[in-house]
Structure 1
Amino acid sequence: MSIKINTMIAACILSYCTVSHANDNFNQAYQSFDEKEIKADIKTLSSDAFEGREPSGVGEKLTTDMLIKRFKALGLSPGNGDKYTQAVPMVSITSKPETSLNIADLRFDFPKNFVATSRKTQKSIQLKNSELVFVGYGINAPEYQWNDYKNVDVKGKTVVVLVNDPGFATQDSELFEGNTMTYYGRWIYKYEEAARQGAAGAIIVHETEPASYGWNVIESSWTGAQYHLPAKEVNEPAIDVEMWISIEKAKALFAKAGKDFTEMKKYALAKNFKATPLNLTASIRLTNEIKSSTSNNVIATLKGSEHPDEHILYMGHWDHLGSYTDDNGKQVIFNGAHDNATGTAGLMHIAKAYQALGKAPKRSITFAAVTAEEQGRLGSRYFANHPTIPLKQIVGLINMDSLDVTGKKKDVTVVGYGKSELENYLSEAAKRQGRTLTAELTPERGYYYRSDHFSLAKKGVPALSAGGGSVWYNDAEKQIGNRVKAEVAKCYHQACDEYNEAWGWQGLIAELQLFFETGYLLAESSEWPNWREGTEFKTYRDNMMK
């Protein structure tokens, strides 16, 4: 199989649309998204009974049973041989500081201004008088002629690292990707690179603007059980202790080392930057509660009428953060209504729309509700390593993570705008709603690297992440947005992410219709959209399709 790079792709899509839009069955399917039913599903998925949809917990069973029952009722076939589930082996590690983080006479309070976890499957793990070394942004990127670890030996030491990357820090479009965060700016890369360099520990300095979220997200996301794929799946070294500290504590730490934090941040951007020993040591001991468990991806397929081996993949994660018991003995549940009960329900209702066509499209449509996205995209990463469909048979992926509930828009925001030719199909589908595609307003937040589509994009599969917009459809929708937008932002990864009857439901429905038609156009086409020239994933796709 080879990729067709068709320079007239938009014209071909348009030619097809003239036929498809006249199809009464398509129009009926397009209009089949029922607000009342969608609300009911989101409300159920985000109810207390589901206990925050934690992998391997009570909520998993309720969620996966619901998905399987619905897919079966819609006539979809099992997507993993004769099974609707794909078992994902996981290791759950709950790290509890047995001692605080000790650096000189500084006081650190868990989780108020520091958090610490470990990926190591040891019941007790510690750093003992581990030398601290400031390594700037902690990046080794030959393609950007950047190496913060040049001429320094950090084996057995603990590195102190800045969040994001030099492009964001300088806003220089010639440095990395300017304001747009690269994968080198993500926390997971920084821990991985520290491990590759032989470090024993790593401390990331949290700052709200370059991290794109507040310390409250660190508190809620980095305490309690952390899920990981088994070491054999990851095949990457890991440091002993992964830590974050607040900006206030970072300033105090550098002052204790006789250095000014602001000046050291500036130095980290200099061409002559050299990793700097801080002449301090860090000690901490963690107790790890380790459990092996199995969670599940749910996969179902509507077989294509002419090319059943070619698949359009819809993906969304069903999991959220679970629950915990507070100091007063009360169970606090992270119900995750927006993130991602909306996308989970969306999978079921797009499947329903395809069923309403009456006849399956030419290519197969596969739905993958994946687990443990909140724990580092574990379900999608496992799927990418053990695909139930050969990756070269996936025409394209449409990911749904936190659908737009802030009101109907005139535009469509594309995360990672310009990366792939899938945008041609999205653009054509958007015309029906009078919408145009726009780039994300905050590329510095690195959203393209933070959800499940990235797991397959890294392998070369063209993957689309889009939704929402910046221009409301009318004043009424804008009023909804003004009321809801701040609440949604405030409740990201917080217990207040609850079902809200006052959300902008017309915006959510429009988004589902948009994704439905985008996939339908792909399914009826004979084209194989690729990554655009110059994107980091194109070589992988080209090699895959040879």
Structure 2
Amino acid sequence: MIRTLAPPALLGTALLGTALFGLAACATTTPAETEPRISLQTMQEAVRTLSSDAFEGRMPGTQGEAATIAYLVERFRAAGLQPGNNGSWVQEVPLINITGSDFAPLTVGDRQFAHGEDWVGVSYRPVAETRLDASDLVFVGYGINAPERRWNDYAGVDMRGKVALILVNDPDYASEGLDGPFGGRAMTYYGRWTYKFEEAARQGAAGALIVHEDFAASYGWNVVETSWSGTQAYADTGASAAQQTVINGWVQQDTARAIFAGAGMDMAEMAAAASRPGFRAVSLGQRASTRFDNTVRRFTSNNVIAMLPGRSRPDEYVLHTAHWDHLGVCAEGEADPICNGAVDNATGTGALVALAEAHAAAGPTERSQVFLAVTAEESGLLGAEYYGANPVLPLAQTVAGINMDGIAVRGESRDVVARGAGKSELDAYLASVLAVQGRVSSPDPNPEAGYYYRSDHFPMAKRGVPMFYVKSGLDLVTGGTAAGQAAEAAYRANAYHAPGDEYDPAWDWSGLMQDLDLYYRLARNLGNNRDWPEWYEGDEFREARESACAASTRGC
């Protein structure tokens, strides 16, 4: 093991730099004989192909999926890799599509709120009709139960059959800095809507409604409304689906204010109380009702897994992840109805292919290099979550991983942003490679968005596997931060999750190739030494890793 440091948040700036420099010296540097030879031609061909109209936007369960799987298997086989799942290139992932329709208003007391405009909701249960009948409404603050932080918003309340009204993000999200019981401005997992719905279900709630707020959620109501309308995909969990809430959803701020007012309460005052330690859930003295129909379709999608076996320790694994899926035909009736997902995430999927080729050409590392293309990220990290719950390769024998999602095509940058920096000893590996590249690591510009909990590395991280999620920063070699910010804003406004995310022959590929160089070096470093990076003391994922290691006779 490499030596364990205190979390960087607990160290002064000068001490942190000294500590990371010393720790970085323990991380193997990339030998000259394995200098990256990553093919730009492979990257361009892969991204152009995967984002072409012939792949129909790569929606799981469609012909676009079949074309994607066939292409990836062909490229991995041609690169000289082996099937990663006991002789198979794929891991089947059982999914369910549930499409809600005929939504009744959400009735709270004597008020009715319109679906779409005031609230949205779905069911995780594959049933023909969802009904919420006069269920007591309880304000549970931020809906957090975190014993290690001595915080429990559900203390003393029986939620069985009731509906939880929950604030988005963490109790200290409005802080200017990163200090506080939940990391201040930086979102923790407890701030994510996924956690809040999971915890409400564990508490036995019949429903969970999150109060939307633009800054705290890091996106507007329009994103919520479109994402939570139409067909929703879920992992097919069989009988355990009955353990989910009857309904999960979101309400507009004005809707929440009206609900509090109906209870004779002021929402701002209640939110302030919920942000302080010792808060206790409050019954709102009102009952919530609604109903809607569901159309259910079961189908099987696929993760693709390829491996370059290690020379001396093939049962120790360095993992690369990227999601192959996108949104399919997303704009019916428009001249261009296909969301091709060129940046998101044909770039990351293409990187799996290009890096696999480069590693195979350089020769195996001591440990095995694994390339996992997962399905249904756009539906909630479903393919990655399925792999995490049903790992083909033991997680206790997975040293660490590198996730690639939406690699920038805006030119070379002077910096990177490491989502999840300060959580594990992977910091040292990154520092070592950045020194070789002549780049620096910049602070996360949007810590409140909780991006570390929103991509495919997360299902592995929460089960204890240290994972990188590193992306180019905004300080571009040509144009500086102003150019980087403008490029990012233009992509968000014109292409992200829209038909405009298409392959462009005029892209500047230099920054993307710079990032692939970084990912390659990180993987070689991890693959050619004996260290097992740890989560820092006090991190929320350290216990999961320690438990997995204690139960394993091999690996960490």
- Normalising by structure 1, what TM-score? 0.91
Pick one of 30, 51, 58 that aligns with 1:53: 58
Once the two structures are TM-superposed, the CA of residue 106 in structure 1 deviates from its matched residue by 4.3
Q: Quick check: 379-388 or 157-166, which moved more?
A: 379-388
Once the two structures are TM-superposed, the CA of residue 320 in structure 1 deviates from its matched residue by 1.7
Contact 1:377/1:451 (8 A) holds in 2: yes
- Cα distance change of structure 1 residues 47 and 114 upon mapping to structure 2, 3 Å threshold: farther
Q: Which residue matches 2:13?
A: none
Is the aligned partner of 1:139 residue 2:144? yes
Q: CA RMSD in A?
A: 2.4
Pick one of 392, 396, 399 that aligns with 1:395: 399
Q: Which residue matches 1:269?
A: 275
Query: Taking every aligned residue pair, what percent have the same amino acid on both sides?
Result: 43
Q: What is the CA–CA distance in structure 2 between the aligned matches of 1:410 and 1:256, rounded to whole Å?
A: 53
- Cα distance change of structure 1 residues 352 and 113 upon mapping to structure 2, 3 Å threshold: farther
**Structure 2 counterparts to residues 418-457 of structure 1, below 5 A:** 418-457=422-461
Contact 2:161/2:206 (8 A) holds in 1: yes
Q: What is the CA–CA distance in structure 2 between the aligned matches of 1:511 and 1:233, rounded to whole Å?
A: 43
SS in 1 for 2:320: strand
Q: What is the CA–CA distance in structure 1 between the aligned matches of 2:110 and 2:500, rounded to whole Å?
A: 37
How big is each residue's C-alpha offset from its partner over 1:246-270, in whole Å with a ceiling of 9 and x where there is no partner?
2233233333443332222222224
* Alignment-mate amino acid for residue 522 of structure 2: T
Structure 2, gaps ≥5 residues long? 6-21, 551-556
* Alignment-mate amino acid for residue 414 of structure 2: K
Q: Which residue matches 2:415?
A: 411
- Cα distance change of structure 1 residues 222 and 147 upon mapping to structure 2, 3 Å threshold: same
Q: Quick check: 536-545 or 493-502, which moved more?
A: 493-502
* Alignment-mate amino acid for residue 206 of structure 1: H
How big is each residue's C-alpha offset from its partner over 1:263-292, in whole Å with a ceiling of 9 and x where there is no partner?
222222244533233333222112111111
- Cα distance change of structure 1 residues 250 and 97 upon mapping to structure 2, 3 Å threshold: farther
- Cα distance change of structure 1 residues 148 and 540 upon mapping to structure 2, 3 Å threshold: closer
SS in 1 for 2:161: coil
Q: What is the CA–CA distance in structure 2 between the aligned matches of 1:100 and 1:498, rounded to whole Å?
A: 38
Is the aligned partner of 1:460 residue 2:464? yes
Once the two structures are TM-superposed, the CA of residue 105 in structure 1 deviates from its matched residue by 5.5
* Alignment-mate amino acid for residue 496 of structure 2: Y
Contact 2:404/2:469 (8 A) holds in 1: yes
Q: Which residue matches 1:485?
A: 488
Q: Which residue matches 2:24?
A: 10
Q: What is the CA–CA distance in structure 1 between the aligned matches of 2:404 and 2:107, rounded to whole Å?
A: 42
Q: What is the CA–CA distance in structure 1 between the aligned matches of 2:173 and 2:228, rounded to whole Å?
A: 24
Contact 1:407/1:480 (8 A) holds in 2: no
Once the two structures are TM-superposed, the CA of residue 12 in structure 1 deviates from its matched residue by 4.1
Contact 1:350/1:512 (8 A) holds in 2: yes
* Alignment-mate amino acid for residue 488 of structure 1: Y
Contact 1:220/1:493 (8 A) holds in 2: no
SS in 2 for 1:424: helix
- Normalising by structure 2, what TM-score? 0.89
Q: Quick check: 295-304 or 198-207, which moved more?
A: 198-207
SS in 2 for 1:412: strand
* Alignment-mate amino acid for residue 421 of structure 1: E
Once the two structures are TM-superposed, the CA of residue 524 in structure 1 deviates from its matched residue by 1.7
Is the aligned partner of 1:62 residue 2:76? no
* Alignment-mate amino acid for residue 327 of structure 2: L
Number of aligned residue pairs: 532
How big is each residue's C-alpha offset from its partner over 1:34-70, in whole Å with a ceiling of 9 and x where there is no partner?
1x54233223222333222111112111111111110
Q: Which residue matches 1:148?
A: 153
Q: Quick check: 362-371 or 124-133, which moved more?
A: 124-133
Once the two structures are TM-superposed, the CA of residue 473 in structure 1 deviates from its matched residue by 2.1
- Cα distance change of structure 1 residues 33 and 471 upon mapping to structure 2, 3 Å threshold: same
Once the two structures are TM-superposed, the CA of residue 370 in structure 1 deviates from its matched residue by 0.6
Is the aligned partner of 1:377 residue 2:391? no
SS in 1 for 2:283: strand
Once the two structures are TM-superposed, the CA of residue 482 in structure 1 deviates from its matched residue by 4.5
Contact 2:38/2:516 (8 A) holds in 1: no
Pick one of 95, 100, 105 that aligns with 1:100: 105
Pick one of 87, 111, 118 that aligns with 2:116: 111
* Alignment-mate amino acid for residue 298 of structure 1: V
- Cα distance change of structure 1 residues 91 and 425 upon mapping to structure 2, 3 Å threshold: same
Is the aligned partner of 1:342 residue 2:347? yes
**Structure 2 counterparts to residues 133-282 of structure 1, below 5 A:** 133-170=138-175, 173-232=179-238, 237-271=243-277, 273-282=279-288
Q: What is the CA–CA distance in structure 2 between the aligned matches of 1:341 and 1:109, rounded to whole Å?
A: 37
